[in-house]
Amino acid sequence: MARSRNSNRFISSPLFSLLCLFCVFSSTALAASAVLGVDLGTEYIKAALVKPGIPLEIVLTKDSRRKEASTVAFKPPKNPQSGSFPERAYGSDAVALSARFPGDVYSNLKVLLGLPADNSLVTEYASRHPALRLETEKTRGTAAFRSGAFAEDEEPFSVEELLAMELQSIQKNAEALAGSRVKDIVMTVPPFYSAEEKRAVKLAAELAGLRVLELVSDGLAVGLNYATSRTFPSVNEGGKPEIHLVFDMGAGSTKATLLKFQGRTVKDVGKFNKTIQEVQVLGTGWDRTLGGDALNAVIVDDMVTQFIESKSAKSVSPTIESVKGHGRAAAKLWKEAERLRQVLSANTNTQASFEGLYEDVDFRYKISRADFEKLAEPHAARISPAIQKALDIANVKVTDIDSVILHGGAIRTPFVQKELEKFIGSSDKVRTNVNADEAAVFGAGFRGAGLSPSFRVKEIRSSEGVAYRAGMKWTNTNGKPQHQQLWQATSFLGAEKQYTFKNQIDPFEINFYQHVGSDENVSPGSAEKELLTVTTKNLTESVAQLKTKFGCDDAGINLHLSTRLSPVDGEVEIVKLVLDCEVEDTDKPGMVDSMKGLFGFGKKDQAPLSEDGEEPLESSVTESATTSSTSSSTSSSAPAKSATKESKDSKEPKSKPSKHLEIVPIEYTIDIKGSPQLPALEKSRMKDRITAFDDSDRSRRLREEALNQLEGYTYHARDLLDNEDFVAVSTQEERTNLETKAKAASEWIYSGGSDATREELKAKLKEMRDIVGPIESRKEEAAGRPEAIKALQQAINETTQIMDGVMGQIENDTKIHSSFSASKSSAPTKPTKSATVDEFADLEDDATATVSASPEKETLDPPTYTAADLIRPQSLYDSVTKWLVEKLAEQEKLSPTDDPVLLVKDLTAKTKELTDMHVDILMKSMKRPHKTSRKPVKPPKGAKVGKKKSKTGSADKAAPSLDFGDGVKPQIFNFDEDGDMDEQLKAFMEQYSAPEVEEDANTAGTVPEAGKEPEKEETGEKPHDEL
């Protein structure tokens, strides 16, 4: 697959700004998202979620387990049809189906990733799972499986597609824990994975809708988890680094990773320093086939041998090939061998029983730990070479190791730990101070948190090697093939290399490769596997451009390549590919001068402008022509000095012309080598099939829910027929009809209705609900009606009280306004002539003061309520009261089996309508504007200011108060359409205004003292916000 590139192209356009903004928003989105760390094991997959609010937590499976079996299974339907999808099972549910459907249970897929179908590891996998129909994938030549749960015309499933389903299941569990979308992932991979195998892992993640942030090796992930809770000696202070060996023996392979831990003081913000922790991979060794599965194979072989030699099996004359090649028999043997090995880790003896193992022949098997260790002696001898290889690569002695950190399920096997102690030379160094099952997944999660800017974690800098030597090949200008090794097995990821070529003609190809052994178990082999090919596109054209435009010759033209190992997956990345030539500078203005001229800054020898922006006068030309300072004051001798300097410069010899590199980016294409890349059309087909599987699972889940609802409702209906409350509000006909429907639905389910569609199940359920629904409604209405009526009656009573309060407020406001108007009309005419004012007159109570001829205008706040505010409460009170009386009368005439006319929802709505009206009235009183401050009217000159009377003086007369008792019945008034009061309300208001008029008449001849405003009378009313 070829990809076109343009190396080192600078973007100086608005598009670059948009890309920068996009990166900012992308980083912000990444900061807010969750990150999933996944330990992709051969037998089990473990995941840890890190999210704001969830520091680092294991993602539980649906059955609350901390790890999920790396297995996916299809449940074959009775009649597979084209376009239909069977039910999928994951984890332990899938493992449980292995004995029933061995041809549709896919486990331990990790060992097949990125390998061609004819690889020895694929062949061994096929022999262990004889029921699987393994084929060659047509586009890439890798392994694929054809399932019997589909029609024959269905395309086989690739390993990446099946693994994507497992990752998707993990993703859904993580999203259930996070409560949000999870897309970013950090995964662990074995250190021996080649570029093709890592590409397969990334493809599986892409098919699952996940984005791989980084692939981290198993050993480094364990080391990161080990370092999170520890602080190591600082090398800046003379501390000695710690060296630890991570021995990881899982189900599929054995890995030995040598790690160096140390502290280091580095520069921090400003003048401060900080101490960080460093984890560095020194070397790795491995055995790709030594693991729990290999030990299980020892037990399986022994069981098959004893079964063939047993007396009961002689009647069917079995052979080793026939038993191992029998799908169900092999599935039972492998499953039981795993259990036996785990039991022997804690016990010295165990046994197993098989019912109908092969051709309906039963079999009993016994084994002891001693027998097992004797059978596994060849495997025990393969433990130390893997460790020794890691020591050799790192150039470290066994005595330099501080401890051995154990990880993986198979390390619990007793003879494995004995071999470790024998090789290390001390049992004290073999420690179990990390979680052997979850250290790697926690390390992957911690790494994911470190890559996300939204988390602040302990700063641990890690570095690991590529594990395989890598280099490049090309053909030079003389036509001879060249070879250059760029990276060693210990070269760290992210390491960059530069190389210079003299080639000048297209197409120029550079081939990159890895030294990977095809079948080597312990160490990297010497076989070269191609990674990618870089081919130039415009090399010839660019060389001609340099020659014609800049006068370069062949000897001065160089092609520079900059490449590195990707920190994400260790792939070779092209950083830069450019052509350059050293040329002499010309008199043409440079880029800086051109930009200055473009923006009006002028050249270096341009005369400066004067402060007002105009050109300098003729008298200052001489000064401007010389180099001068930009300070505000200039010495009178500056022109002379400048002229002298200019004459000296003219006598000096001219310097040699400077040179610069002229760089031309080279366009190129990248062709990925190894297994052919999955075509875009095929990738889209796989994604569509996974999506169709998800839709089918969702439809199946909804159908099963409908079936469960129907089956449960049949039992519910039978219980209702014995319920006294239900019988009291239902007729005999309704109960008989319900009993018939429930019985018919139950018989229909058990006679084949369980396979019906969701629509058919919902229709059966609706038939019973249509009968039960009205009856249940009657029962609920009868139970809730009394409380609802009580609430409405209380709201009606509150309405009467609020209307009384509003009426009282209107009366009080009317009295205040009438008294104020009468007092204002009786006041004497004020003088119009201005007089002097004593500035300190206001400081004393009895002091004399002068005022201006035009006093400030006195006003009163508008009334809180008006007569129009009683229209809505009165109307609502009348309508609700009338409605309640009528509905109560109608409901009394009905029997319990009749549908009610007075519904709880209607009562609640009426209550809410009254309550909302109450709130509106009370809110109006709270929104009344604050009283405006009025300055006291100052008396005329020579007048004495009287002292203010107390509010409790005998001159104050309180207005009649209103009774807010519950028994008060409001007086009902009628209003015109425009809201005016009729004669009845006017007569009511006159009886309150008559005493007020009489009082005004008694005080009409009294002139208020100068400087006093008419005092308000206390009404005895409560404040408005207390109504």
In a domain, 617, yes or no: no
Q: Say what the pLDDT of residue 436 is.
A: 92
- Which among 318, 346, 380 is the end of a domain? 380
Rg over alpha carbons for the chain, rounded to the nearest Å, is 47
In a domain, 887, yes or no: yes
Judgement on whether residues 308 and 371 belong to the same structural domain of the protein:
yes
In a domain, 510, yes or no: no
Judgement on whether residues 824 and 738 belong to the same structural domain of the protein:
no
In a domain, 762, yes or no: no
Judgement on whether residues 86 and 203 belong to the same structural domain of the protein:
yes
86 in Cβ contact with 150 (< 8 Å): yes
Note the residue count of the chain: 1027
Judgement on whether residues 62 and 193 belong to the same structural domain of the protein:
yes
Pairing of strands 558-565, 430-431: unpaired
506 in Cβ contact with 568 (< 8 Å): no
DSSP one-letter string for 235-279: GGGTPPPEEEEEEEE-SS-EEEEEEEEEEEEEE-STT-EEEEEEE
Q: What is the 3-state secondary structure (H, E, C) of 824-846?
A: HHCCCCCCCCCCCCCCCHHHCCC
In a domain, 173, yes or no: yes
Q: Say what the pLDDT of residue 996 is.
A: 42
Return d(Cα 408, Cα 435) in angstroms, integer: 9
Judgement on whether residues 812 and 913 belong to the same structural domain of the protein:
yes
Return d(Cα 908, Cα 593) in angstroms, integer: 82
Q: Say what the pLDDT of residue 820 is.
A: 80
Tokens 């086939």 belong to: 289
Return d(Cα 752, Cα 195) in angstroms, integer: 53
- Say how many domains are in the chain: 4
Task: Characterise 652 by phi-psi region: left (phi > 0), alpha (psi -120 to 50), beta (else).
Answer: beta
Judgement on whether residues 997 and 853 belong to the same structural domain of the protein:
yes
In a domain, 839, yes or no: yes
- Which among 209, 229, 258 is the end of a domain? 209
Q: Say what the pLDDT of residue 810 is.
A: 87
**Residue 359 domain boundaries:** 292-380
Judgement on whether residues 708 and 793 belong to the same structural domain of the protein:
no
Q: Say what the pLDDT of residue 960 is.
A: 37
Question: Which residues, in sequence order, are CB contacts of 864 under 8 Å at separation 6+?
Answer: 809, 813, 924, 925, 928, 1024
In a domain, 477, yes or no: no
Residues pairing with 975 in the sheet: 981
Residue 70 DSSP class: S
Write out the H or E segment, with its range, that includes residue 16. Answer: helix 14-32
Judgement on whether residues 859 and 953 belong to the same structural domain of the protein:
yes
- Which among 182, 209, 236 is the end of a domain? 209
Model pTM? Answer: 0.71
Judgement on whether residues 89 and 192 belong to the same structural domain of the protein:
yes
In a domain, 244, yes or no: no
Residues pairing with 515 in the sheet: 528
Q: What is the CATH number of the domain that holds 359?
A: 3.90.640.10
Write out the H or E segment, with its range, that includes residue 73. Answer: strand 71-75
Per run of 10 residues, the mean pLDDT along the chain (length 1027 residues) is 50 44 45 84 96 90 94 89 88 93 95 92 94 92 92 92 97 94 95 92 96 95 94 91 96 95 89 91 94 96 94 90 93 95 94 93 95 95 95 93 94 94 90 90 94 86 88 91 88 89 91 73 62 92 90 90 90 92 70 50 45 38 35 40 46 64 92 86 94 93 93 92 90 92 91 87 93 92 93 93 89 84 68 46 44 53 84 91 92 91 93 92 72 47 44 38 39 43 47 43 40 42 38
Judgement on whether residues 862 and 1010 belong to the same structural domain of the protein:
yes
Judgement on whether residues 694 and 818 belong to the same structural domain of the protein:
no
Amino acid residing at 19: L
Which tokens in the block code for residue 788? 């609802």
Return d(Cα 116, Cα 137) in angstroms, integer: 9
Return d(Cα 37, Cα 49) in angstroms, integer: 6
Judgement on whether residues 821 and 719 belong to the same structural domain of the protein:
no
